[in-house]
Structure 1
Amino acid sequence: MELQNDTQISEFLLLGLSKKPELQPLLFGLFLSMYLITVFGNLLLILAVSSDSHLHTPMYFFLSNLSLVDICFTSTTVPKMLYNIWTQNKAISYAGCITQMYFFILFSDLDDFIITAMAYDRFVAICHPLHYTVIMNPQLCGLMILLSWLTGVLNSLLHSLMVLHLSFCANIEIPHFFCELNQVVHHACSDTFVNDVVIYSLTVVLGGGPLAGILYSYSKIVASIHRISSAQGKLKAFSTCASHLMVVSLFYCTSLGVYFSSAVTQNSSSIAMASVMYTVVTPMLNPFIYSLRNRDIQGALKKLVDMAVVKRPVFPDLKN
């Protein structure tokens, strides 16, 4: 078979989550609702943190950055999927596929790094409370976010450039609802050995490294909480990191589940369905996890709502 050069490929076909026509309206309504909830919930969380001076702390600084990344993360995949369902057109251009892949890798990396930074913040707060303000200074927090962005940009740029050097046959059908890196690489007609080595190596380093850091931080946190004598003190210390622990569990359990299921099974449709958990469901749940169990966030949201109600005129058409 004669291979086409990658520059001659005009488009790929995203097969989506289901080929059944009767399910398309249901999928459109479901994912549109989830996307709007994700954007609105995370924007509300960002506004609450920025409007309340009491929340201008490292923990909420990382939380607002996580909310911003979650909005961008979901926006890389869901709008295109909704457009394809609405127009009944599964095509995505070659350039659009590479661009989507780039930003998906970037924001998934940022999610991972920011969650790790939040784990370190909780480690310092619980294990070294007297030195917390000195260690977690604004310069360090800003540097951690900057390094996260730089690492994410370089990693996603490397993968995207390596995909650009692959050759593809005509009529590529990707059994997914977005251009996932592994799916695109494995549909190439040229040799992908180097791509596979780079993908799995960087996954171990950039995925396993932060996970090891999170596990180490929480092992120290658990040991520190165990040394607290009073039960009330233990409960208070644990409550400060309970929300973050739920987010970490949700993010890593779903992403690792997709990773291992793709290695074990060849059922692409089940992998695509599992990917929904960490690409759509997790970003949607994060604001609820942090707001429902956090009185500071609840207070800031209440103030935000009260400000909106006070500023709105009761009788807008009434003239003096």
Structure 2
Amino acid sequence: MKDFPNLSTEEAVHYLKPTFSQTSDGYEAFIRTILGFYEAHGRRFDWRETSDPYRIMLSEVMLQQTQTIRVIPKYVLFLSLWPTFKDLSQAPLDQLLFHWKGLGYNRRALNLRKSAMESERWGWTLPKEQDELRSLPGVGKATAAAIGAFSYHERTIYLETNIRRVLLHCFYPDQEGVKDKELESLLAHLVQRVEDPKQWYYALMDFGVLLKGLIPNSNVRSAHYSKQAKFENSNRQIRGQLIHLLADTGAKEQDQVTSLLSRFEEERVMYCLVQLVKEGFVEETEGTYRIAKV
């Protein structure tokens, strides 16, 4: 198992067997199983060794819908280029998008820089209050909860993909359409019983990674599950290629853009380009398009 090289197949299968009741004894047994697995096989990443809100937020934003193996070098690179919120707030957008290449979802990079700018009001850091964190661009319930738990050891309710998979597999093995509200209620019971919420959530996520490699996706039984649309030949692919074209090679006239992206219909390319202008990624002057200098 590539994510847990010291874990044998026999031992991995052992972790699949138990399901747990929503009782005091069931909660305690579940917690022992999860923390025991983490103590023996937990993964180690640089962002797990810090409580710095900037480093925590950077990793959380990068990890959204992106494989860990792709995040590791980008995380190191970003810290070398922009080691603090203040540094990132001053990053030129074209450089930021150029170095973001490979992580996907460029809107995350734009929101990350906007959040860095807004962090000035807290002295170039982040608060621990959930409502204030969620006021930041692109910071939803899960990201705010992660920052609270990993930076401030707050007993937040942190529900993300891998954690959802664990709860559905271990507590709802035969149920369909399980709502996040019910899972969040379960998490609230569990997090009150653990000593360190930061370690607890890392352990849950790693157990979810283990399950992902062993069983069919439990998340399909979530009431909120929706299959991700294909990337190939999607507008998301066109948007990404437009960003990288302008960030990598500089300003282009409209005809140059459509020619270089001729594998896509011209109408779709122009639609995506106009949307990028509206969203602040790109600016247009007399028919020439470039990454915005805001």
Would the TM-score normalized by the shorter structure come out above 0.5? Answer: no
Structure whose residues are more often helix by fraction: 1
Instruction: Give TM-score scaled by structure 1 length.
Output: 0.28
TM norm structure 2: 0.30
Structure scoring higher RCO (CA < 8 A, sep ≥ 6) equals: 1
Structure of greater Rg: 1
